[in-house]
Amino acid sequence: MRARLSAVGWDTDLAIEPAGPPPAPVRDTVVVAVEACGVCHRDCIDRSGRFAFIRVPITPGHEAVGRVVAVGPDVTAWKVGDRVASMHRDACGDCDACAIGETSLCTRAAAVFGLMVDGGYASWMLAPERALYPVPDSIPAALAAVFHCTLGTAYRGLVRGGALAAGMRALVVGANGGVGAAAVQVASRLGAVVVAVIRDPEHARLVEALGAAAVVVDGDGRFHKRLPGGPVDVAIDCVGAPTFNGSLRSLKLGGRVVAVGNVVEARVELNLGYAITRGLRIIGSSGATRHDMDEVLSLHARQPFRVPIHAELPLAEADRAQRLVARGGLAGRIVLVPPHHGP
């Protein structure tokens, strides 16, 4: 079974159709029998047509976990039976960015799941070997599916982007979402004091349980006026235009704001003088490299992370799942489970 987006937009439901048998993988690709695939807000952005390069028809989904069931002749990293999960896209392995391990900045990656090549809303997925990272059997499928896009994104944003270190103050804006809840845990695990910004007071207990030292409930983007303990070293903004200037104005001199969320189409207005005179840094960050994932997995092995899962739904309900995510306000992620999985 697989879901198909036949045209961008929300007028036509995602189609559910037979996936057929997987092809024999060529070159450096592998076939993965999908155990589960996360439904990400980016899938909704993809569907809305905000990336001009989307190719339709396409199978959505960049958050798949499963087992390798066949490998192409040039594959060196994987063998049949390995448990793997997808990153957002592949990497060429030899451009300047790849040469220094910055694979998420690869300039030649041709396969972005759900946009340029078919993704994980399916019983099986064809994936370039460099678009995958290894996942231990001990991590349940729903958590493993969303691990990269939540914990990986949070880790890369905070550590590589924001240079967060023990003893610093971190602000997580949109702390009840998938990346936000992950960022609260990663930042507190790294020894930072975490202040969480949420919109709905009913999520306060969740983010406190994940490690937030203080919670600000905000409805108008002016949370910087009410920050317990004052300004922060690093803010990670998982929302976008409605909160970005609040995040920027929450920073100490020399602080960093890491932008990882862009949930509405509106552009951000920037007071350049404010950023210049305070020596602020604005860092965009997306996804994580395989090296980042190794580090997140080793933190997880010492003390397991939690990603709240709102629901595990059958793959046949892919359209309903995307509409739920698009509407927003869920405390946790939705994960799709295909009817048959495993080798």
Per CB under 5 A, which region of 102-110, 198-206, 268-276, 316-324 contacts Zn ion?
102-110
Where in 2-118 does DSSP place strands (E)? Answer: 2-4, 15-17, 29-39, 64-71, 83-86
Least distance (Å) between residue 276 CB and Zn ion: 33
| DSSP letter for each residue of 144-212 | HHHHIIIIIHHHIIIIIIT---TT-EEEEETTTSHHHHHHHHHHHHTT-EEEEEESSGGGHHHHHHHT-
Least distance (Å) between residue 38 CB and Zn ion: 6
CA distance 107 to 95: 7
Least distance (Å) between residue 343 CB and Zn ion: 25
37 touching Zn ion, by CB under 5 A: no
Per CB under 5 A, which region of 3-11, 24-32, 105-113, 199-207 contacts Zn ion?
105-113
179 touching Zn ion, by CB under 5 A: no
Residue whose CB is less far from Zn ion, 99 or 165: 99
Residue whose CB is less far from Zn ion, 3 or 192: 3
Query: How many residues of this chain bind Zn ion (CB under 5 A)?
Result: 10
Least distance (Å) between residue 317 CB and Zn ion: 18
Residue whose CB is less far from Zn ion, 131 or 168: 131
Residue 9 token pair: 């937009």
Q: What is the DSSP letter of 103?
A: G
Q: What is the DSSP letter of 93?
A: S
Residue whose CB is less far from Zn ion, 177 or 221: 177
CA distance 27 to 15: 30
SS3 306: coil
Site map for Zn ion, 42-71, x if CB under 5 A? x--------------------x--------
Strand partners, 15: 4
106 touching Zn ion, by CB under 5 A: yes
149 touching Zn ion, by CB under 5 A: yes
92 touching Zn ion, by CB under 5 A: yes
Residue whose CB is less far from Zn ion, 17 or 74: 74
Task: Work out whether strand 193-198 and strand 251-259 pair parallel, antiparallel, or are unpaired.
Answer: unpaired
Counting every residue written for the chain, the total comes to 343
Residue whose CB is less far from Zn ion, 192 or 238: 238
Q: Annotate 127-159 with b (16+ C-beta within 10 A) or e (fewer).
A: bbbbbbbebeeebebbbbbbbbbbbbbbbbbbb
Whether 89 contacts 97, CB under 8 Å = no
Least distance (Å) between residue 44 CB and Zn ion: 10
95 touching Zn ion, by CB under 5 A: yes
CA distance 188 to 132: 27
Per CB under 5 A, which region of 71-79, 90-98, 227-235, 313-321 contacts Zn ion?
90-98
131 touching Zn ion, by CB under 5 A: no
Q: What residues between 190 and 229 interact with Zn ion by CB under 5 A?
A: none
Residue whose CB is less far from Zn ion, 41 or 67: 41
Binding site for Zn ion (CB under 5 A): 40, 42, 63, 91-92, 95, 98, 106, 108, 149
